[in-house]
Structure 1
Amino acid sequence: MQYRVRHRWGPAVVMTTAFALAVGSQGAAVALPDAPAKADREFASSFEADDPAPDWTDTVDTGKDGRKRASGVDGGYSTGIPGNVTEHVTGVRASAENTGGREVKENLVDNEPATKWLTFAPTGWVEFDLDAPTKIAKYALTSANDHDERDPLDWTLKGSADGENWQTLDTRAGEHFGERFQTKTYELAETAEFQHFRLEITKNNGAGDALQLADVQLATGDTEVPTPEDMLSFVDEGPVGSPTAKANAGFTGKHALRYAGRHTADGRGYSYNKVFDVNVKVDRRSELSYKIFPSMADGDLDYDATNVSVDLAFTDGTYLSDLKATDQHGFPLTPRGQGDAKILYVNQWNSVKSGIGSVAAGKTVDRILIAYDSPKGPAKFRGWLDDVAIEQAAPERPKAHLSDYALTTRGTNSSGSFSRGNNFPATAVPHGFNFWTPVTNAGSLSWIYEYASGNNDDNLPTVQAFSASHEPSPWMGDRQTFQVMPSAASGTPDTGRDARELAFRHENETARPYYYGVRFENGVKAEMAPTDHAAMMRFTYPGDDASVIFDNVEDKAGLTLDKENGTFTGYSDVKSGGSAGATRLFVYGEFDSKVTGGDSSGVKGHLRFDAGRDHAVTLRIATSLISVDQAKDNLRQEIPKRASFDKVKRDAQKQWDQILGKVEVEGATQDQLTTLYSGLYRLYLYPNAGHEKVDGTYKYASPFSKAVKDNTPTETGAKIVDGKVYVNNGFWDTYRTAWPAYSFLTPSQAGELVDGFVQQYKDGGWTSRWSSPGYADLMTGTSSDVAFADAYVKGVDFDAKAAYDAAVKNATVVPPSSGVGRKGMETSPFLGYAGTDTHEGLSWSLEGYLNDYGIAKMGEKLYKETGEKRYKDESAYFLNRAQDYVNLFDAKAGFFQGKDNKGNWRVDSEKYDPRVWGYDYTETNGWGYAFTAPQDSRGLANLYGGRDGLGDKLDEYLSTPETASPDLKGSYGGVIHEMVEARDVRMGMYGHSNQVAHHALYMYDAAGQPYKTQKNIREVLQRLYTGSDIGQGYHGDEDNGEQSAWFLFSSLGFYPLVMGSGEYAIGSPLFKKATVHLENGRELVVKAPKNSTTNVYVQGLKVNGKRWNSTSLPHSLIAKGGVLEFDMG
């Protein structure tokens, strides 16, 4: 089909006839030529009703030679059973759904078996609306990925003309799905024409608490639908089946442009479809931008839909795709360029920008195209386009404050199914006691701020509360929460979450480390500025109606309002299941405006105010883990009554500027600056202070020791301990990069942090593996051992003897509970490894060897400093233990794998498959732990046949694709998010999405092939930290600053590969110049003047003017400052 409505979006001349007439010399009427329309400077469309509509639908562009710009592509994209009409579904309703896990009703019609609908009930129903009455002859159901007991067993399918009166079409009982992802088709006795359909599931396959289904297909059964000749390009309701985006919507608004087709050729296939007829003049500041959503079924793995871009046809007959334009990351802005770069994520929205003025200034855009161009087929592809714009880009000027480069919403466009950071927009001071955050789901203790997936019916995000938070990770969950929310409702405001929520647009949101502000669609403005234990909030109302609502996630809390004095007190016992040891939080707050009314019941309540002439109400709020009186005193200490909101904001900004100013760079793009400084914010957001100043002395309520009395509404029953303590850290995640970064950038603060965790040992007898805040039983390895040893070897000052004793206890004592120490200790000191009877025993073993190496190096230095023979002997013992990794290498299989206590491999060597996840491996497979012995890289290389063998193994690692196949889920119940994220890295088995892989690319240095380290590190830096402007920015969980610290070190050109050694591996610096302002007053300057997106290889290195021939750098050298000069090529 070809459909076109001609219009130009420049000024038009209105005439009273179809053409103007003039009188010629002979008196005949002749037509005058049309005057050319004046060119516009900008154009934008989001495919909504008020936007410019496409001028063409499903129409291929024609080149200057008059030939269609398409070959080997048609519009025959189809999914599912013959005649499947689920793409015509316009609405889905359900009895319930699992929104937190993105296991929602829309997944039933995304034609993607890997997603599912889940409801926590044994029965349920789903209704589907079609865009028109449709004759249905059959339907199909697809089983979900796991738990066959949750499958439907009995159900009824009904149809309706009006969505209210239902007619039974089919009833089934005792249906069983023999496999996961199995599709079963059912014929209707008679063809039925309806616009609405309802599936009522009356019984599941035995589960008492859940029902799930992957897909529902409604079909006409028609097998002879004609194939459209050309690639499809038309407006519809947008994609479904995304782990991070709202279903049936554009990136903004309710519509998007779909592109879809079938690549029929074996070789190249392409189609350049025209969409808009425009008249836009390009100048030097012109920027093209758009959002793109390439779709891919999990079983395809061809990423074919990413061979796509917007193209521009100019009036001179040239195309943008011919002009060597690049996107904001330096990749070619052509369909092939985007596809080859692997820059676009599938099943997610991607933000693409290009400064087209640099290549097309002076030209005039005539047509805007959506282009697909792929080198090989056959394949089918589809995706969506939204928010197409050609606009004048604002001049790039340096920001006055480095903290203004940091975006706290970065990493929030995530879910439990796919992580782009899994962050929330925490406003806080560095290592602060509290976080203060907007909350889009006030009933959640995990994903508390969803960038887009929880948008309302107008596809706008909504805030339901502003909250005190202490969440270290959505997987650990939030705790000790307290919520407030402004309301401009007249009379008594409705305190219900859905009723009080306010919609906003991200462009009206300012999310910085030191400040959060948002203007809602109804005119209310909310602002927050933090201190350590307190915060100041300011709510500005559009009129005289001004209220503040109080609430909490759960009812495990208390609230007392003092209307006469405009104050309140409260407490919170709210905590997630992962919040080990969490104690009661106390809250005290004061308003500056006169209270005119209010009431409370349980945790909910409200106060109504006379907001005065400025319509503003200011709240000063503080917390304590000790008592209400201490919360009140914390407020006095940090935000006295005379303090202004702007002063609190400035003071917080100053603290962040001091931290972020440790690193300054030249030659960085705006996006890279955002990545760098947002990363430094994440790094120093954690870990968090757990102590308070009580009468001039630091004390804390212990989450590590037993309570000494019962809590009261005003005072904790926890043990009160003298000293400083720090919490919120999972050492398996952070030891590799975050802790070395603290030691490098802020060694004095690093010493305080270490002492703060060693205090856990002094208090409760152990240092947490995962402190949230107490002893959480999660992850493998007591990795504080090597983290603190590395700090000590690098000269960080702390109680080294106590830290060493805590590490030795971890390494030698059978722990009293699962939340502390090492697992498998009953036998592992004697066997030399944790056997297969220990969950993830291989990982416990390999992580244990790394930690033993750290203990050995720490003991070695302690012996040198104290002369105590104990340290010398123990150092030798632990160094010997650190080499036991060789005993877990299965030479026949060529991989490390688990052994039982008798020495037998878990899997016969001949049957071993390193692609299988779980069992002995933590969040990965055999490939993921193939290089986890950096402490002895020479010995590791020998296992693989020498340095060349290690290089070959790394090559195979990067060329063996991760498929995230259900067949390889191993011991996991289904495909876990880490598998999908690793697949979408698209670097073989290298899963940058998880920390266990973060050292692997630097192992090429040990293999004598540093150029491969350099090549691959730069690919990661350029490709896997994108999307900051739309809430992305990371690939996988950011994890308390670890992914950010990886970016920091790698962009500087060196990395802490061997923790505890005091050395860094050399990589490839990202910037032309970077200056690190060291704590000792000196500077480390990293120069790489010839650096570029293509010049990624180190041709030579000079250190302080002298040629450097090693692939490692000692910390003792760079900590003194100096100059590293990289010659890049």
Structure 2
Amino acid sequence: MKTHKEKMKGWLAGFFVAGTLFCSCSDKSGEVIPTDYVNPFIGASTNIQAAGAYHGLGKTYPGAVVPYGAVQVSPNTITGGDNGSGYSYEHRTIEGFAFTQMSGVGWYGDLGNLLVMPTVGKMHTNSGKENGVEGYRSAYDKASEKATAGYYKVFLTDYQVNVEATASLHSGMLRFTYPQSKQARIQIDLARRVGGTSTFQAVKVIDEHTIEGRMECTPEGGGWGNGDGKANYTVYFYTQFSKPLKDFGFWEVTVPEGQSRKREFIESAAFQELTSQARIVRNVREFQGKHIGFFMEFDTEVGEEVLLKSGISYVSESGAELNLKKEIADWNFEKIREQARNQWEVALSKIKVRGGSEEQKWIFYTALYHTMIDPRIFADVDGKYVGADGKVHESDRFTKRTIFSGWDVFRSQMPLQTIINPSLVNDLLWSLTTMAEESGNSYYERWEFLNAYSGCMLGNPAISVLADAYAKDICQLNMDKAYAYADKTSKMFGNSALGYSLNPSSISKTLEYAYTEWCMSRLAEAMGKHEDAEYYAKLSQSYRNLYDTEKHCFRPREADGSFEAWPAKGILQEGYGCTECNEYQQRWFVPHDIQGMVELMGGIEQVVADLDTLFAKTPVDFLWNAYYNHANEPVHHIPYLYNRLGEPWKTQKCSRFICDNAYHNSVEGLVGNEDVGQMSAWYVLSACGLYPICPGDTRYEITSPLFDEVSIQVGNNKTFVIKTYHNSSENVYIQSARLNGKQYSKCYLDYKDIMKGGLLELDMAAIPNEKWGK
């Protein structure tokens, strides 16, 4: 184990190797096959001890999904706790395979609905616990566990059943291979939910191969934020079995009146005892209740395959049926698996890389894969979706999408998508705008989850995405309506009352609101609203009102204008006016006015020295720390500030070092929560040699690419290529550049330069060229 001193050697020294799954995955021409470089186990751990912080590691899941699909068929190893994906690699038992999951989230997760488990022998109606409490969960052979793009498999040792999963956009399929048994079955726990339980379930047998039903998930059942996220959704299912329903039934748990359904109870021994005493009901074809399950029993021969497929809808049972019949009409598991792989191949081929190490390719394409999970499709195949008013709507003008982890994804994930999937960003903005309208709230939510105004985190990230998309000319929505909602949002959550925001998180709020107030000024100016533009431009300078010239840092102010008392750890005190960071980390978030920030902080020389110290004191493993804490979003733009301070070679060194040391081809390969694509999008952009400091401004900083060549599909059959010469792990510094054959001395590109296609050539060497890019 490394000592503390060894960890603190800093970004200028050290080399850390941690990776798995090395092989050459190219076709005969040497062309990289992107799907062969996807390792869904990267980040698939919630382990707090390994992370060294309560936030845990990546919190991704390894199950089957297609790009932006509504269905994710994935193993679940745990219910409860801060385990948003329902899975953690170090767990040694699996409690079932759910058809919905969240990727990389903290704050107590949600979904994990329609939990299916193949069992053999005695039937249990409780899940059991990994610490030895008996239930329907099973140990599994870790060596048998495999995950690729659109496919997952594992062998359950307690039942001697092999499980395989694949998925389509709105549907999924499981294939179970059983031993010989007179007591084989499939169980479906309809109450189960990652962060609690659904609070009402109904199921109906339609014919000898089909059931349908629904699971109502309300805040009373926990879920997102353990209920504080206000998640209120219904999952409808239409499920078919390859084996006929000859012997089937239901189980029902009698939940005491007034009993909490949230995570504290479902994590308890009392919950296991209660659910183990469920009433078994047979000889009926329809059942409903507050905590029920369904099972079917049958005989099996050695190696007999039994398949289950299910359509999922958030609209209706008929919607779930239509989704399944449109997508998985037969029982050809291999065909669906191949279709899923092909969908991923098309999606991931939007960026092709050459050169680099095998490790870097695995990390890159898995990162790109993780950026294509959300915002997921929320509408059925016919375009129908449930709006924030609880009513069914239909649209052919956009695809309704959900799960906007705003505070995270406005920084890298959405700017990446504006390049490779601009229509997706337009869909998201349509979706957030219709939500504002249908809900009657007329403002943009900062962390949207299945129509819920969860209120999670801070800032006005939807305004950032809107202003960025408008500046890039990819908005196709009613901009008058969108502007009105953005204007109301800024006035509800902003710095207008005092010129700064109060605690909690005074510094974080003030700086983030100042940034989106700048976004509003840009948007207003572009739309000809000059008075609004002037109003918001003044508010964008609100960050100055928290700066203490005596302490040379930002400090939270009280309502009377006085500073909050100075903390014991000073600028390193996490939580002192900040959310999930300290002042030393948050202070750099003035992306819209870097020149003003520099002047406020004492000039370029002082700011560069402070940045140098920040990185020099950062531990090499990049786990949670008080300096450059890559495990969390507030710092993600900081390495690129050197480009704006006249020392772009330091950006090149930093970005390469972070790519090499904060990301690995292993379960522990993400040092912090994936956060719905943000952590991975940072890597994708940085590995390509581009990064946006300030969404809303169309400038992308140039840094040192990891690969010899990066080809990006930018629409209309155009490709933007970034090509390096003499690139290597030592040659990280840009010596000179050419854009479309002409010498190029700037350390940034404009969005339009990227989107019209072309060629950026970079000459690399081991020694910085301190004149290029200044």
Question: Matches of residues 203-214 of structure 1 in structure 2 within 5 Å?
Answer: none
Q: Is residue 406 of structure 2 the alignment partner of residue 731 of structure 1?
A: yes
**Paired residue for 2:239, among 582, 589, 593?**
589
**Paired residue for 1:771, among 420, 441, 448?**
448
Q: Is residue 330 of structure 2 the alignment partner of residue 651 of structure 1?
A: no
Report the equivalent of 2:687: 1051
Closer/same/farther in 2, CA of residues 528 and 643 from structure 1, 3 Å limit: same
Closer/same/farther in 2, CA of residues 832 and 445 from structure 1, 3 Å limit: closer
Report the equivalent of 2:5: 302
Closer/same/farther in 2, CA of residues 295 and 502 from structure 1, 3 Å limit: farther
How far the C-alpha of 1:539 sits from its partner, in A, is 0.9
Report the equivalent of 1:918: 575
Q: Is residue 663 of structure 2 the alignment partner of residue 1013 of structure 1?
A: no
How far the C-alpha of 1:668 sits from its partner, in A, is 2.3
Question: Matches of residues 130-141 of structure 1 in structure 2 within 5 Å?
Answer: none
8 Å Cα contact 1:440/1:448 also seen in 2: no
What letter corresponds to residue 453 of structure 1 in structure 2? E
Per-residue Cα deviation, 1:160-214 (whole angstroms, up to 9, x for no partner):
xxxxxxxxxxxxxxxxxxxxxxxxxxxxxxxxxxxxxxxxxxxxxxxxxxxxxxx
Per-residue Cα deviation, 1:203-227 (whole angstroms, up to 9, x for no partner):
xxxxxxxxxxxxxxxxxxxxxxxxx
How far the C-alpha of 1:1078 sits from its partner, in A, is 1.6
Q: Is residue 753 of structure 2 the alignment partner of residue 1124 of structure 1?
A: no
What letter corresponds to residue 982 of structure 1 in structure 2? W
In 1, Cα distance between equivalents of 2:366 and 2:406: 21
**Paired residue for 1:567, among 203, 210, 219?**
210
**Paired residue for 2:499, among 815, 827, 832?**
832
Question: Matches of residues 90-169 of structure 1 in structure 2 within 5 Å?
Answer: none
8 Å Cα contact 1:842/1:898 also seen in 2: yes
Q: Is residue 480 of structure 2 the alignment partner of residue 801 of structure 1?
A: yes
8 Å Cα contact 1:477/1:579 also seen in 2: no
8 Å Cα contact 2:63/2:150 also seen in 1: no
RMSD of the TM alignment (CA)?
2.9
- Gapped regions of structure 1 (runs ≥ 5): 1-293, 308-336, 345-349, 354-392, 455-460, 706-717, 815-821, 864-870, 964-978
Question: Matches of residues 356-505 of structure 1 in structure 2 within 5 Å?
Answer: 397-398=26-27, 401-416=33-48, 418=51, 419-442=56-79, 446-454=83-91, 461-472=92-103, 473-479=105-111, 481-487=113-119, 489-490=120-121, 496-497=127-128, 498-505=134-141
8 Å Cα contact 2:622/2:661 also seen in 1: no
Report the equivalent of 1:959: 616
In 1, Cα distance between equivalents of 2:476 and 2:198: 42
Per-residue Cα deviation, 1:373-422 (whole angstroms, up to 9, x for no partner):
xxxxxxxxxxxxxxxxxxxx866655984223212221112334523312
User: SS state of the match for residue 1078, structure 1?
Assistant: strand
Report the equivalent of 2:169: 532
In 1, Cα distance between equivalents of 2:698 and 2:706: 23
Question: Matches of residues 19-38 of structure 1 in structure 2 within 5 Å?
Answer: none
Q: Aligned pair count?
A: 691
Q: Is residue 16 of structure 2 the alignment partner of residue 343 of structure 1?
A: yes
Report the equivalent of 1:855: 520
8 Å Cα contact 1:405/1:674 also seen in 2: yes
Q: Is residue 725 of structure 2 the alignment partner of residue 1089 of structure 1?
A: yes
**Paired residue for 2:467, among 789, 793, 807?**
789
Report the equivalent of 2:750: 1114
**Paired residue for 1:893, among 548, 551, 569?**
551
What letter corresponds to residue 415 of structure 1 in structure 2? N
User: SS state of the match for residue 214, structure 2?
Assistant: strand
What letter corresponds to residue 62 of structure 2 in structure 1? P
**Paired residue for 1:990, among 613, 628, 633?**
628
8 Å Cα contact 2:24/2:358 also seen in 1: no
In 1, Cα distance between equivalents of 2:353 and 2:569: 47
In 2, Cα distance between equivalents of 1:573 and 1:830: 40
Q: Is residue 417 of structure 2 the alignment partner of residue 742 of structure 1?
A: yes
How far the C-alpha of 1:766 sits from its partner, in A, is 2.4
User: SS state of the match for residue 507, structure 1?
Assistant: strand
In 2, Cα distance between equivalents of 1:962 and 1:666: 30
In 2, Cα distance between equivalents of 1:1048 and 1:426: 22
How far the C-alpha of 1:1068 sits from its partner, in A, is 1.2
8 Å Cα contact 2:38/2:366 also seen in 1: yes
8 Å Cα contact 2:70/2:376 also seen in 1: yes
Closer/same/farther in 2, CA of residues 423 and 796 from structure 1, 3 Å limit: same
What letter corresponds to residue 755 of structure 1 in structure 2? W
In 1, Cα distance between equivalents of 2:41 and 2:245: 34
User: SS state of the match for residue 42, structure 2?
Assistant: coil
What letter corresponds to residue 172 of structure 2 in structure 1? A
**Paired residue for 1:754, among 404, 429, 449?**
429
How far the C-alpha of 1:493 sits from its partner, in A, is 6.4
More strand by share: 1
8 Å Cα contact 1:441/1:447 also seen in 2: no
**Paired residue for 1:1003, among 625, 629, 641?**
641
8 Å Cα contact 1:560/1:600 also seen in 2: no
Report the equivalent of 1:692: 380
Per-residue Cα deviation, 1:454-512 (whole angstroms, up to 9, x for no partner):
3xxxxxx222100122425242411361111112x246567644433333334322212
Q: Is residue 530 of structure 2 the alignment partner of residue 872 of structure 1?
A: yes
How far the C-alpha of 1:958 sits from its partner, in A, is 2.2
Give me the TM-score of the superposition, normalised by structure 2.
0.84
In 1, Cα distance between equivalents of 2:653 and 2:622: 24
How far the C-alpha of 1:752 sits from its partner, in A, is 1.6
In 2, Cα distance between equivalents of 1:883 and 1:623: 47
In 2, Cα distance between equivalents of 1:738 and 1:528: 28
In 2, Cα distance between equivalents of 1:748 and 1:338: 38
Closer/same/farther in 2, CA of residues 352 and 395 from structure 1, 3 Å limit: closer
User: SS state of the match for residue 1059, structure 1?
Assistant: coil
**Paired residue for 2:604, among 927, 947, 952?**
947
How far the C-alpha of 1:961 sits from its partner, in A, is 5.7
In 1, Cα distance between equivalents of 2:238 and 2:560: 60
Per-residue Cα deviation, 1:203-252 (whole angstroms, up to 9, x for no partner):
xxxxxxxxxxxxxxxxxxxxxxxxxxxxxxxxxxxxxxxxxxxxxxxxxx
Closer/same/farther in 2, CA of residues 525 and 566 from structure 1, 3 Å limit: same
In 2, Cα distance between equivalents of 1:915 and 1:1099: 36
Per-residue Cα deviation, 1:965-1006 (whole angstroms, up to 9, x for no partner):
xxxxxxxxxxxxxx99332xxxx7111111100011111111
Give me the TM-score of the superposition, normalised by structure 1.
0.58
More helix by share: 2
8 Å Cα contact 2:407/2:446 also seen in 1: yes
How far the C-alpha of 1:1110 sits from its partner, in A, is 1.8
In 2, Cα distance between equivalents of 1:1021 and 1:756: 33
Report the equivalent of 2:770: none
8 Å Cα contact 1:566/1:591 also seen in 2: yes
Report the equivalent of 2:323: 634
8 Å Cα contact 2:32/2:353 also seen in 1: no
User: SS state of the match for residue 829, structure 1?
Assistant: coil
How far the C-alpha of 1:933 sits from its partner, in A, is 0.8
Per-residue Cα deviation, 1:824-845 (whole angstroms, up to 9, x for no partner):
x5xx31421113xx31122111
Closer/same/farther in 2, CA of residues 555 and 768 from structure 1, 3 Å limit: closer
What letter corresponds to residue 946 of structure 1 in structure 2? G
Report the equivalent of 2:623: 981
In 2, Cα distance between equivalents of 1:507 and 1:805: 55
User: SS state of the match for residue 1087, structure 1?
Assistant: strand
Report the equivalent of 1:102: none
**Paired residue for 1:1074, among 710, 725, 739?**
710
